[in-house]
Structure 1
């Protein structure tokens, strides 16, 4: 049994009819006119792009369209329990109007929003108005049957639906039609749900896009498994060639020292000093290895302070701004930290920048990190690049990476990971 059947039981409930009719009327007469306004503004703004003016107006207009679409998503969920996912891509936060316009127009969800506006002012208007028609139009039919037809007859009669009212008999026919319509009013809530399901069919991602998303997630999960296996092999190799080798050498030196204590104390002291230095080196290697696996500051104080500590070790001045009201899950923090580390390493090595800015904040269920540098630009997410590895790392958590790096700079790298803060 589906949700509609359970909720309305085939006939509906009287207490749900009036709210559905009022909400449909509000949508048709108050909310839907905004769809017309924004569709006209969007078409005009897109038409002005070739002359440059549209580059400035389009981001503002499309932001308004997104706000309108998000409002309809919220109403669909609150009024009828219809959930419509929003899958907007992250936008560059730079002040470059061309970058924001190109980012919005390159987002498939933007074009779904515009198609929805066109449907909303046609079929959407009808499906929103029908619940109110089923409830309020019969009242007019009863009024006509009760005598309202008389003052109307002086104007050549009156049409109620398909009934031409010219006398009392035809007026009673209008009343009968009104009674028939009134029997359909329990289905008003279903009609309102149909309006939102129509909205969901346009605003929601297509099956092809969902299949592509599943494919990408499958690949990123496989990449995560391969990366984990490679990381384990690296740790094993580092332990074998580094700290383990030093500890073996220290054991041998200590054995030699035992034999030389009585025969050659001076030589024993020299070996003891060398062994002490080997222990210091082994401890340093182990600390570096542990820091590479999971930095202690990340575990103790969270990703914000871990990124601050990372920025202090950079050879370039870096300004870090953190606005986080809590902590994400440890795997998410780890992914964000190492992704930022890779982005900063790329900036230091390849950008030619003399300053870096890092911003971390949480909004709309997303941990969002932006890294900006004033270098020469030209960064791309290509095969074999560090940014491609970052993209695969984020993909494991259904995160995304966006890069805006025009020639001459600046470069803006945005990372987003869905999460909640504790």
Structure 2
């Protein structure tokens, strides 16, 4: 090993040690207040469920806890390569406030999160802080030996470990102890990994929950395959009954025109006009078919402009509010677009509404969750039933691990909310 290689390896270890100390310290600063606040709000909110108040607050609080836990999963993977599986159950699409609350409370992952908060504010806090202590405490001993003991001695002395620092000689002894402790600083990255492994032991999903998660994903994949097959059959049928039939008829007209061109020019001219109109109609049908597969405006301008264009074609006045600082992946945008299209179709056909509002935004910047809300002022009573358009939307969103929620009391208004993970 060359001197340059040894120096590079040494500097790399020093950098990793310092980085682990800083990360552990930052994690300790965040984990303790975050865990205390999350656990306190959760317990208070759940205790208020029997009197009704908790039914409205619990879903919001538990979503915050889940976001905090998911952030820790991301940090564990990025900082130490520790993968922590997640297996939250999807909330039923037709869930009202009470059903949503009880669905989250019946999810084993919710109670696992609450147990993790208790561990995170105790053993988790200690294991996060240890890497910083192993690095910064020896440096404190060196600072004491370098002269920090003087202002400390004016306060009656200072204990560094088992050394009572009152003068320069005791300060040098503290510095020697700091150098000895500095040898343990190299353990800082390993201790940070221990913290995340402890987190995984408490927060990670068990085999049973992962199996349930696989079952749900298998069902949504099967729905996606069935939907794709049905979509292909629809495209084939539309081509056969529409554009293909017109093109065949146009070919027959052109053959007739060829025979009549010398015998009956006037009739040939009429058939040419008819063939021209057939070509225009065939082109229009092909454009509609392409728009039904993947609208060009969606590919070129993004989800916001595509939904605005969709709203302009509605027979009911439709307002669109868009706050999307970035584009999602093409499959996510396509799923959201057609989900909005189906929700608008349902509103126009069944609600009797005279006004519709659409809102598209990210739930919180950086969470990768797209939320779409379609609201109408119609008669209400919309439900997610088998064979309904909303059931089809729910299946479409389930392919992306998304959820659908419908609030539609008798007399209206109806609010259809869709959330789709963008990752």
Matched, 1:278 2:278: yes
1:173 corresponds to which residue? none
1:418 corresponds to which residue? 421
- Bigger CA drift: 398-407 or 82-91? 82-91
Q: Please give the secondary structure, in 1, of the residue aligned with 2:302.
A: helix
Mark the CA change 1:201 to 1:264 in structure 2 (over 3 Å): closer, same or farther: same
Whole-angstrom CA distance in 2 between matches of 1:268 and 1:17? 88
The gaps in structure 2 that reach 5 residues or longer are 1-8, 142-157, 166-177
1:300-311 map, 5 Å: 300-311=300-311
For residue 109 of structure 1, report the CA deviation from its aligned partner.
4.8
Q: Please give the secondary structure, in 1, of the residue aligned with 2:314.
A: coil
Q: Please give the secondary structure, in 2, of the residue aligned with 1:360.
A: strand
Whole-angstrom CA distance in 1 between matches of 2:18 and 2:253? 90
For residue 265 of structure 1, report the CA deviation from its aligned partner.
4.0
For residue 241 of structure 1, report the CA deviation from its aligned partner.
2.1
Whole-angstrom CA distance in 1 between matches of 2:55 and 2:370? 28
Are the counterparts in 2 of residues 246 and 282 from structure 1 also a CA contact under 8 Å?
Answer: yes
Aligned length: 377
Mark the CA change 1:410 to 1:201 in structure 2 (over 3 Å): closer, same or farther: farther
Q: Deviations over 1:224-279 (max 9, x none)?
A: 33333332332222222222222222222233333334444444444344333333
Q: Deviations over 1:165-199 (max 9, x none)?
A: xxxxxxxxxxxxx9999987754543443233222
Whole-angstrom CA distance in 2 between matches of 1:104 and 1:112? 12
Whole-angstrom CA distance in 1 between matches of 2:254 and 2:33? 86
For residue 309 of structure 1, report the CA deviation from its aligned partner.
1.0
Are the counterparts in 2 of residues 99 and 404 from structure 1 also a CA contact under 8 Å?
Answer: no
1:357-376 map, 5 Å: 357-362=357-362, 363=365, 364-376=367-379
Whole-angstrom CA distance in 2 between matches of 1:62 and 1:224? 30
1:389 corresponds to which residue? 392
Mark the CA change 1:368 to 1:22 in structure 2 (over 3 Å): closer, same or farther: closer
For residue 342 of structure 1, report the CA deviation from its aligned partner.
1.2
2:149 corresponds to which residue? none
Whole-angstrom CA distance in 1 between matches of 2:59 and 2:36? 18
Whole-angstrom CA distance in 2 between matches of 1:25 and 1:258? 86
1:219-230 map, 5 Å: 219-230=219-230
Whole-angstrom CA distance in 2 between matches of 1:223 and 1:384? 13
2:48 corresponds to which residue? 48
1:112-151 map, 5 Å: 112-125=112-125, 127-128=127-128, 144=162
Q: Please give the secondary structure, in 2, of the residue aligned with 1:412.
A: strand
2:214 corresponds to which residue? 214
1:333 corresponds to which residue? 333
Q: Please give the secondary structure, in 1, of the residue aligned with 2:420.
A: strand
Whole-angstrom CA distance in 1 between matches of 2:269 and 2:133? 100
Are the counterparts in 2 of residues 379 and 403 from structure 1 also a CA contact under 8 Å?
Answer: no
For residue 79 of structure 1, report the CA deviation from its aligned partner.
5.7
Q: Deviations over 1:4-61 (max 9, x none)?
A: xxxxx9xxx7886787678767766885255345433432332233334445654665
Are the counterparts in 2 of residues 342 and 387 from structure 1 also a CA contact under 8 Å?
Answer: yes
Are the counterparts in 2 of residues 90 and 402 from structure 1 also a CA contact under 8 Å?
Answer: no
Q: Please give the secondary structure, in 2, of the residue aligned with 1:367.
A: strand
For residue 303 of structure 1, report the CA deviation from its aligned partner.
1.9
Q: Please give the secondary structure, in 2, of the residue aligned with 1:415.
A: strand
Are the counterparts in 1 of residues 28 and 129 from structure 2 also a CA contact under 8 Å?
Answer: yes
Whole-angstrom CA distance in 1 between matches of 2:246 and 2:161? 99
Q: Please give the secondary structure, in 2, of the residue aligned with 1:414.
A: strand
- Per the normalisation by structure 2, the TM-score is 0.70
Whole-angstrom CA distance in 2 between matches of 1:350 and 1:32? 51
Whole-angstrom CA distance in 1 between matches of 2:187 and 2:223? 50
Whole-angstrom CA distance in 2 between matches of 1:326 and 1:179? 51
Whole-angstrom CA distance in 2 between matches of 1:89 and 1:328? 23
- Per the normalisation by structure 1, the TM-score is 0.70
- What's the C-alpha RMSD, in Å, of the aligned pairs? 4.3
Are the counterparts in 2 of residues 361 and 369 from structure 1 also a CA contact under 8 Å?
Answer: yes
Q: Please give the secondary structure, in 2, of the residue aligned with 1:218.
A: helix
Q: Please give the secondary structure, in 2, of the residue aligned with 1:284.
A: helix
1:231-246 map, 5 Å: 231-246=231-246
1:191-206 map, 5 Å: 191-206=191-206
2:151 corresponds to which residue? none
1:297 corresponds to which residue? 297
1:170 corresponds to which residue? none
Whole-angstrom CA distance in 1 between matches of 2:387 and 2:289? 24
